């Protein structure tokens, strides 16, 4: 257990040394929030997310759980909970990986190469396969609305928006109205 605790400490320290903003949850290393910037030359460029990381007791032998705290529109991220599909990370996880790999390789790759065939967000997956231009537009709208530095500063794990902030197309849409409506 001691070596696993030391590994957690090293991984978190390594993130901070690479200029990631890290917030400890409950003064421990089992749960942290990390500020994550969308990868360059992607639809998510310019976006800023708070990413909640939960390290299991058996970390690094078991992969961390990862969830976006503020909203992101992506086929492999649950829109309501922000959870990243565990299949995506578990397929390639190895104890040789560390948290820096998660933020510098795994998450950027996830955002650069979404898999709409096995979606965690069915609306995003369907829209991506049906109308890529409309999908791209919706991703950019989410980035503008939810992925700003001031948004993550005020967000919590339960979510940063009130129910009234959720528009009709986000709360229950059909394929015909996925595009949504512009903000008033």
The CA distance from 78 to 129, in Å, is 17
Instruction: Give residues with Cβ within 8 angstroms of 57, minimum separation 6.
Output: 4
CA–CA separation, 37 and 107 (whole Å): 10
Catalytic option among 85, 88, 124, 178: 85
Is 143 one of the annotated active-site residues of the chain? Answer: no
Alpha helices, DSSP H only, in the chain? 2-17, 86-90, 99-101, 107-112, 122-130, 132-146, 149-153, 168-171
Strand, coil or helix: what is 27? coil
Residues classed as catalytic = 85
């Amino acid at each position: 257990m001691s070596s696993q605790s030391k590994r957690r400490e090293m991984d978190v320290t390594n993130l901070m040394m690479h200029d990631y903003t890290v917030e400890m949850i409950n003064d421990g290393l089992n749960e942290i929030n990390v500020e994550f910037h969308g990868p360059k030359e992607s639809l998510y460029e310019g976006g800023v997310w708070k990413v909640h990381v939960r390290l299991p007791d058996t970390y690094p032998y078991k992969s961390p759980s990862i969830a976006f705290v503020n909203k992101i529109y992506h086929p492999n991220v649950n829109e309501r909970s922000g959870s990243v599909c565990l299949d995506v990370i578990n397929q390639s996880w190895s104890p040789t990986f560390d948290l820096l790999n998660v933020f510098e390789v795994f998450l950027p790759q996830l955002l650069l190469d979404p898999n709409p065939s096995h979606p965690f967000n069915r609306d995003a997956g369907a829209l991506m396969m049906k109308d890529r231009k409309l999908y791209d537009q919706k991703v950019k709208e989410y980035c503008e609305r939810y992925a700003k530095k001031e948004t993550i500063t005020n967000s919590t794990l339960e979510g940063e928006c009130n129910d009234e902030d959720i528009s009709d197309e986000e709360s229950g849409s059909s394929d015909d109205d996925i595009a949504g409506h512009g903000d008033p």
